């Protein structure tokens, strides 16, 4: 009885945290100041280097909104750390969650592929998204995860099972994003088939004959199911209340089709022409951080830096390297001569694209999802990460 009473009291007690003498990265500017966080929400923002009693002195370190990641393959990497290795899923999800937290990511849309090819052998894909999503949501329900998770269903139209896999998800599954993908050889990401050949031969150990067979099979699948799968994806995204994204748009004509579907977010357009068409249609352009850091795309498509210089890049995703997200935002800050603008591509801009109004900037009433970092010779060093005011890394 006494213990129960104490627990209730503790639960009702106000939790306060003051982070002072920070270089705050606000909308459009950086400024020295302090944040007061009450019950996980930003309650006050003040200017100056003063460190009040009870506050933490950040010693001038940057304090940014927690990063928002819309498209990461990182969970898949933890589930299958080597080809054919199925790591215990709960452990993999927890490791993935902790890894993202350590890089400053406080909100993630975990990408999972829907649309498998069970009849393919080396070129096949097994169905996994529904089960993995349930496992992730269960851990989240038990409060076992550090950061905020949503689902990003990658709807692969060049597959055998897309429509039935999507039908297994509901409005309660936190599906925040559905991306319409078409990886049929000879177009979009794989316009240059030699890049696909390099990728699948090294990853799946295909021979020349197997590769020719694989390409023919995928083209058949597209012809057989493509239109049906595309229509199902548009309808199912609306049923989930999810934002619909396009993927690897290459031509202005493809972007016009995307716009007709109500798409407002384009993942990794492969040409400047497509990125420009996106802006003409009011579609936000997202590019991969590894592309920006490496100075080009591994599939030979347009360089993210080129789009940044053309003012055609709005959002960055870490894609397959979580730590690259902060690195890329800092690099964009250098390219544009405006750190706050660089950071906005991984905070405010992704929040806006997926309709999350409670986070993405340091402002009164927003979630206290925060990232403290320093810079060592231009390389960002995450020093502390908070989710709703609780330290998670
Ligand atoms: Fe792609």
Euclidean distance between CA atoms 300 and 152, whole angstroms: 25
Ligand 1 centre distance from Cα of residue 181 (Å): 7
Using the predicted structure, report yes or no on whether residue 324 has a pLDDT greater than 80. Answer: yes
Ligand 1 centre distance from Cα of residue 9 (Å): 51
Do residues 150 and 106 lie in contact, with contact meaning Cβ atoms separated by under 8 Å?
A: no
Euclidean distance between CA atoms 346 and 67, whole angstroms: 6
pLDDT at residue 12, as a whole number = 59
> Which of these, 376, 372, 375, lies nearest to 384 by C-alpha position?
372
Ligand 1 centre distance from Cα of residue 183 (Å): 6
DSSP 306-348: HHHHTT---EEE-BT-TTHHHHHHHHHHHHHT-HHHHHHTTTH
pLDDT in tens, 108-159: 999 999 999 988 777 778 899 999 999 999 999 999 999 999 999 999 999 9
Ligand 1 centre distance from Cα of residue 268 (Å): 7
Burial class (CB in 10 A: 0-12, 13-18, 19+), 319: buried
Ligand 1 centre distance from Cα of residue 115 (Å): 14
> Which of these, 375, 318, 323, 274, lies nearest to 152 by C-alpha position?
318
Ligand 1 centre distance from Cα of residue 137 (Å): 26
Ligand 1 centre distance from Cα of residue 27 (Å): 31
Ligand 1 centre distance from Cα of residue 260 (Å): 21
Ligand 1 centre distance from Cα of residue 370 (Å): 30
Ligand 1 centre distance from Cα of residue 136 (Å): 24
Do residues 337 and 114 lie in contact, with contact meaning Cβ atoms separated by under 8 Å?
A: no
pLDDT in tens, 335-371: 999 999 999 999 999 999 999 999 999 999 999 999 9
Euclidean distance between CA atoms 281 and 264, whole angstroms: 8
Q: Which fold has domain 66-359?
A: TIM Barrel (3.20.20)
Ligand 1 centre distance from Cα of residue 189 (Å): 5
Where in the chain are the domains?
66-359
Ligand 1 centre distance from Cα of residue 195 (Å): 12
In the structure, what pLDDT confidence band is assigned to residue 282 with cuts at 50, 70 and 90? very high
DSSP β-bridge partners for residue 20? 57
C-alpha of 295 from chain center: 20
C-alpha of 233 from chain center: 19
pLDDT in tens, 165-211: 999 999 999 999 999 999 999 988 888 898 889 888 888 888 999 99
Q: At 350, which helix (H) or strand (E)?
A: helix 348-353
Ligand 1 centre distance from Cα of residue 77 (Å): 16
> CB within 8 A of 201, min separation 6: which ones?
211
Do residues 267 and 317 lie in contact, with contact meaning Cβ atoms separated by under 8 Å?
A: yes
Using the predicted structure, report yes or no on whether residue 300 has a pLDDT greater than 90. Answer: no
Place of tokens 């269960």: 138
Ligand 1 centre distance from Cα of residue 277 (Å): 18
* Residue 151 exposure: Cα atoms within 13 Å on the Cβ side: 30
pLDDT in tens, 79-121: 999 988 999 999 999 999 999 999 999 999 999 999 999 887 7
């Amino acid at each position: 009885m006494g213990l129960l009473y104490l627990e209730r009291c503790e639960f009702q007690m106000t939790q306060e945290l003051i982070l002072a003498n920070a270089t705050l990265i606000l909308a459009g500017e950086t400024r020295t100041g302090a944040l007061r966080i009450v019950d996980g929400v930003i309650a006050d923002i003040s200017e100056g280097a003063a460190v009040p009693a009870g506050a933490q002195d950040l010693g001038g370190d940057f304090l940014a909104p927690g990063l928002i990641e819309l498209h990461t393959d990182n969970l898949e990497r933890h589930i299958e750390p080597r080809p054919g290795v199925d790591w215990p899923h709960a452990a993999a999800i927890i490791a993935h969650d902790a890894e993202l937290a350590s890089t400053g990511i406080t909100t993630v849309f975990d990408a999972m592929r829907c649309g498998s090819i069970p009849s393919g052998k080396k070129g096949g894909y097994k169905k996994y998204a529904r089960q993995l999503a349930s496992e992730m949501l269960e851990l989240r329900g038990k409060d076992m995860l550090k950061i905020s998770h949503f689902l990003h269903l990658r709807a692969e139209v060049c597959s055998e099972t897309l429509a039935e896999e999507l039908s297994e998800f509901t409005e309660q599954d936190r599906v925040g994003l559905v991306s319409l993908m078409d990886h049929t050889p000879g177009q979009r990401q794989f316009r240059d088939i030699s890049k696909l050949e390099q990728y699948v031969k090294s990853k799946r150990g295909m021979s020349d004959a197997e590769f020719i067979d694989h390409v023919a099979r995928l083209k058949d699948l597209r012809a057989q199911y493509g239109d049906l799968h595309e229509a199902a994806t548009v309808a199912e995204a609306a049923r989930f209340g999810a934002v619909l994204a396009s993927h690897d748009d290459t031509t202005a004509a493809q972007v016009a089709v995307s716009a007709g579907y109500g798409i407002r977010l384009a993942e990794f357009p492969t040409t400047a022409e497509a990125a420009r068409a996106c802006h003409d249609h009011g579609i936000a352009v997202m590019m991969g951080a590894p592309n920006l850091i490496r100075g080009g795309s591994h599939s030979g498509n347009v360089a993210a830096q080129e789009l940044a210089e053309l003012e055609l890049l709005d959002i960055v995703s870490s894609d397959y390297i979580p730590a690259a997200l902060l690195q890329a935002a800092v690099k964009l800050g250098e390219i544009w001569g405006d750190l706050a603008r660089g950071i906005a591509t991984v905070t405010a801009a992704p929040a806006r694209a997926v309709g999350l109004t409670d986070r993405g900037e340091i402002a009164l009433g927003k979630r206290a999802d925060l990232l403290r970092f320093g810079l060592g010779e231009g390389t960002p060093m995450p020093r502390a990460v908070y989710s709703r005011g609780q330290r998670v890394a």
